[in-house]
Structure 1
Amino acid sequence: MKPGRESRQSGLSLLEVLVCIGILLILAGAVMPVAKVTLKRQKELELKRTLRTMREAIDLYKEYSDKGLIEKEGLDSEGYPTDLETLVKGVPQVNSTRKLKFLRRIPVDPFTHKDEWGLRSYQDEADSKSWGRQNVYDVYTLYSGTALDGSKYEDW
């Protein structure tokens, strides 16, 4: 060593590095369950919003049908659309060449990542999982998981 220069050791010891890694692992382990719950909650909120949007479109279609603004489809129609695609394609307005569209597109289920939904017709039982193909009275998700509150998604 040259005279006038002091020897300084810098850096971290192996023990300090291991302690820091241990603390980071513990923190990461605590954050992962919270992140999973947050992601599931976001999907649930998206599902609720999507179901509400489709149900409002079905209700608006029914209201327009009852008021005579659009023609009822079929003889046994209760004034509900025949399928979800009818809400997207639109129906002709009475005494007009315009088409009324109730949805821009069929929404994608946030859990199944498909635009396929369970449908109930007006003639079906309230808890029925089979669709009578007469009209669309209600929609539900085809995902059979359980929500954070313990309810089944398909019952929403």
Structure 2
Amino acid sequence: MLNVSRGYSLIELLVVLGILGLLATLAMPMAEMTVQRERERELRRAVWEIRDAIDAYKKARDTGAVVESSPSHYPPTLAALTELRDDARADRLGQPIRFLRRVPRDPFAPADLPAERTWGLRSYQSEAGRPQPGVDVYDVYSLSDRVGLNGVPLRDW
């Protein structure tokens, strides 16, 4: 009878480990790109949500639903979008209005900052190419210096 030993040799184990290491090395950039893509998707969604709320606030000011003392019809701060207000129009007097439940965070901002401070603010009076904060919030942008997968800096989204 022939006595055959079962198992793997050291060389077979090293070849398998080498192949697994190579596959892991190839998979890492794909995993990093997937994480980047998801964060960019969150950023796009957050910017759209805030911009929609700013537009709704302006429309409410234009129609008289929101009454403020400032001459601008845009919100004075991002926090103003989350405040519960009473509708000032006669046909809807006293009905509550809120434009955002909470200010979304910029997913590329440091985690220790409050959500409101993760955004760059552009006033209505500032130029699009050089956004500056002012007495109102006309637009928001990411403060990140990173470039998106599409080649456009995140600040310009």
Q: Normalised by the size of structure 1, how large is the TM-score?
A: 0.89
Q: 1:6 offset after TM fit, Å?
A: 5.1
2:11 paired with 1:15: yes
Q: Quick check: 65-74 or 43-52, which moved more?
A: 65-74
2:82 match: secondary structure:
helix
> Is the 1:82–1:135 Cα contact (8 Å) retained in structure 2?
yes
Supply the distance in 1 between the matched residues of 2:131 and 2:125 (Cα, whole angstroms): 12
Aligned to 2:50: 54
Of 82, 86, 91 in structure 2, the residue corresponding to residue 92 of structure 1 is 86
| Counterpart for residue 104 of structure 2 | 107
Residue by residue, what CA displacement relative to the aligned partner does 1:3-51 show, whole Å, maximum 9, x if unpaired? xx75230000011000000000000000000111111011001100000
Secondary structure class of the residue paired with 1:128: coil
Q: Which residue of 1 aligns with 2:124?
A: 122
Partner of 2:144: 143
Task: Classify 1:155/1:73 alpha carbon distance in 2 versus 1 (closer, same or farther; 3 Å).
Answer: farther
Identity of aligned residues (%): 41
CA positional deviation for 1:89:
1.4
Q: Distance in 2 between matches of 1:135 and 1:111?
A: 24
CA RMSD of aligned residues (A): 1.5
Number of matched residues? 149
The CA distance in 2 between the partners of 1:55 and 1:41, in whole Å, is: 21
* TM superposition outliers: structure 1 runs of 4+ over 4 Å: none
What's the TM-score, normalizing by structure 2? 0.88
Distance, in Å, in 1 between the alignment partners of 2:99 and 2:77 is 12
- Structure 2 residue runs without a partner (length 5+): none
